[in-house]
Structure 1
Amino acid sequence: MDIAILAHEQFPGRAKTAVGILRYGDHDVVAVLDRDTAGDRVHDHLPDVQDAPIVESMADVPDCDVLVVGIAPIGGGFEDSWRPDVRTALERGCDVWAGLHYMLADDAEFAALADEHGCELRDVRRPPDDLTVAEGTAGDVDAQVVLTVGTDCSTGKMTTSYELRDAARERGLDAAVVPTGQTGIMISGWGISIDRTIADFAAGAVERLVHEAADHDVLFVEGQGSLGHPAYSGVTLAILHGSQPDSLVMTHVAGRETHHSYEDYPLPPVREYADLYEQVAEPVRETSVDAGMLNTQGMDESAAREAIEEYAGDLGVPATDPVRFDVEETLDAVL
């Protein structure tokens, strides 16, 4: 399937969905839409992912099957400046996928265009209608369940999940990622966006996902948010209790001392944060932080290795940067 990815004015730094699809998706990306870097190529900014031209608008995109909205602003709203590109995609007969809290299928103009041109509007954040409360049974599955947790949002939980999955598969293990957010759902083609789920049903939704994937040897559950985040801790707790993990991997951004966009809220020391995750999980299922992942983007290799060594020492477990370096030692720790 050929897809184009909309990432206006956010690529690559704040276009997490776009970058995730380029790095881990199976689709052929024919173009990225970004007004700020139009005329460049993806490899000019991210040399280690699938390459594609960067163009100014949907009118400049070659033939494709789907336009993916590859960014999600805080609050998940729809930017009106994207409307011409979505309109053009539908008029060309392309499906449109989005991971917003704004449901494209509920937009009267888009719904009419999709119906007229035979297109699908896929809102991947829309949860199933038949969710229930958790029964506390995720811990009964035979698969080993590893949950990625973080000190903040956007610390690398999804990236860690896919890098560990790929490394486990290279060892011959039947490993899968359990997607709990819009990017993971677009990459893997299934999952439930927990941050869109009714609070009473959120842990139950995660529990359902674990059971659905229980025939694998190892499940890497994609974490969301962080337990101490002033806005998003609720979804983190639901995933922690709903998945009943055997092991935790804690992600962090090198040098980050406060919550991004919430700078009045400092991050606790990483070992204290790891202890907090273990203590909060314990009443439902005893677990431990067995590995750490550090985002060292922007550092040179020497500084990155030094930062990782310090992070591993603070946590008391093996650590690495899963994009820059191999994950073998950290995979050993969780297995």
Structure 2
Amino acid sequence: MEVAVLAHEKFPERAKTAVGVIRYGDYDVTAVLDRERAGGQVAEYVPGAPDAPIVEGMDDVEEADALLIGIAPIGGGFEESWREDVENALSRGCDVISGLHYFLSEDPEFVELAEENDCELWDVRKPDDDLTVSQGVAKEVDAEVILTVGTDCSVGKMTVSLELARAAQEQGVDAAFIPTGQTGIMIEGWGNPIDRVVSDFTAGAVEEMILEKGDEHDYLFVEGQGTIIHPAYSAVTCGILHGAMPDQLVLCHAAGREAIHGYEEFEIPPMEEYVDLYEGLAAPVHGTEVAAGALNTVDIVDEGPARDAIDEYGSDLGVPATDPVRFGADELLEALL
């Protein structure tokens, strides 16, 4: 499928959905919409990713089967400045894929245009109606369950889970990725949007996916969300931790991050405290351990300082650590498999 990706004024730093889909999705990205960076190329900002032009709006997109909203702002709202591009896409017969908390399929103008032009509005964050509470049985599956957890949002949990799953598959290991957020669901084409599920059903929604895939594979790499100390999102983090009943954890951190993004009055505690927090919270439900660390070094330009930061991070955790995007996932897989 050929898609245009909307990332106005956020690409690439604050458009992790766009970057995730470009890197890992089974789509042919024909253009990225960003008014501020129009005229550039994707490869200038996301090295190693498939290239595409950056354009000002849908009027500048030559070919597309769908428009994918590649921004996930705090609160998941819809920016009215995007409406023209969405309407343009629907008028051209393009489907629209959205990971927002604002459901396009409940917007009368979009619904009318979609019906007129035989288009689909896919709200990725709209959960299934048949979710229920956890039974506490995820630990009974045959697969080894490995969950990425984080020190903050946007430190690379989805990316690390995908890198590990794909590197394991390349080694001939029977591994699968379990998507819990809108970007992962867009990439894989299935999954439960955990941050939109009724709170009582959060652990159950994760458990449902573990039970669905856990006897089909040897390893499940589960995409984590948020962080356990986040003043807004900690409930989602805890729900995934208890619902997945992971056997191992990979603690993800962004080099240089000292406080919760957007909530800078909340400092990130020392790494050894984070290990105790996650292992201690998991223990009464299902014992687990932080077995590896993943450090996002994208903001460190030179390789030498990046490796130094990783060495310090691994030392703080007391487990093997690396940046799997920059240096490959082999060291982490050796510790986990």
Q: Same fold (TM over 0.5)?
A: yes
User: Which whole-Å CA distance do the structure 2 matches of 1:199 and 1:75 have between them?
Assistant: 16
- 1 CA distance for matches of 2:241 and 2:61? 41
Q: Deviations over 1:283-312 (max 9, x none)?
A: 000000000000111211111000000000
Displacement of 1:275 in angstroms is 1.1
**Structure 2 matches for 1:46-65, cutoff 5 A?**
46-65=46-65
Q: Counterparts of 1:288-327 in structure 2 under 5 Å?
A: 288-299=289-300, 300-327=302-329
Q: Which moves more between the two structures, 78-87 or 291-300?
A: 291-300
2:139 pairs with 1:139: yes
SS of the aligned residue for 1:38 comes to coil
User: Any idea what the Cα deviations from partners look like across 1:125-150, whole Å, max 9, x if unmatched?
Assistant: 00000111000011000011000000
Secondary structure of the equivalent of 1:220?
Answer: strand
Instruction: State how far apart, in whole Å, the 2-side matches of 1:153 and 1:126 are.
Output: 21
| Amino acid corresponding to residue 174 of structure 1 in structure 2 | D
Q: How many residues align?
A: 335
Stretches of structure 1 that go unaligned for 5 or more consecutive residues are none
Unaligned runs of 5+ in 2: none
Could you say what secondary structure the match of 2:169 adopts? helix
CA distance in structure 2 between the aligned counterparts of 1:64 and 1:329, rounded to whole angstroms: 39
One-letter amino acid of the structure 2 residue matched with residue 141 of structure 1: V
TM-score normalised to the size of structure 1? 0.99
Alpha-carbon distance between aligned partners in 2 of 1:138 and 1:302, rounded to the nearest angstrom: 41
Task: Tell me the equivalent position of 1:158.
Answer: 158
d(CA) in 2 for partners of 1:298 and 1:287?
31
For structure 1, which segment, 319-328 or 197-206, has the greater mean C-alpha deviation from structure 2 after superposition? 319-328
| Cα RMSD, aligned residues only | 0.6
- SS of the counterpart of 1:44? helix
- Structure 1 Cα separation of the partners of residues 329 and 256 of structure 2: 21
Distance 2:285 2:293 in 1: 22
In structure 2, give the amino acid aligned to 1:186: M
Tell me if the contact between 2:255 and 2:299 (Cα under 8 Å) persists in the aligned partners.
no
Q: Which residue of 2 aligns with 1:239?
A: 240
Structure-2 residue corresponding to 1:260:
261
Q: Deviations over 1:198-223 (max 9, x none)?
A: 00000000000111112111110000
Q: 1:127: which partner in 2?
A: 127
Distance (whole Å) between structure 2 residues aligned to residue 258 and residue 63 of structure 1: 42
Alpha-carbon distance in structure 2 between the residues aligned to 1:274 and 1:78: 36
Question: For the residues of structure 2 that align with 1:243 and 1:137, how far apart are their CA atoms?
Answer: 9
Instruction: Tell me which residue corresponds to 1:194.
Output: 194
Quote the offset at 1:253 in angstroms: 0.6
Q: Deviations over 1:248-289 (max 9, x none)?
A: 000001111110110100111011101110000000000000
Aligned residue type for 1:95: D
- Is 1:226 aligned to residue 223 of structure 2? no
1:25-47, Cα deviation, whole Å (9 max, x unpaired): 11100000000000100011112
Report the Cα distance in structure 1 between the residues aligned to 2:112 and 2:212, rounded to whole angstroms: 35
Q: What residue identity is the alignment partner of 2:136?
A: G
Q: Aligned equivalents of 1:145 and 1:282: distance in 2?
A: 15
1:17 is matched with 17
Instruction: Indicate the residue corresponding to 1:90 in structure 2.
Output: 90
Matching residue's letter, 1:330: L
In structure 2, the residue matched to 1:99 is: 99
Specify the alignment match of 2:250 in structure 1: 249
Q: Distance in 2 between matches of 1:150 and 1:273?
A: 9
* C-alpha distance in structure 2 between counterparts of 1:155 and 1:53, whole Å: 26
TM-score by length of 2: 0.99
2:286 corresponds to 1:285 = yes
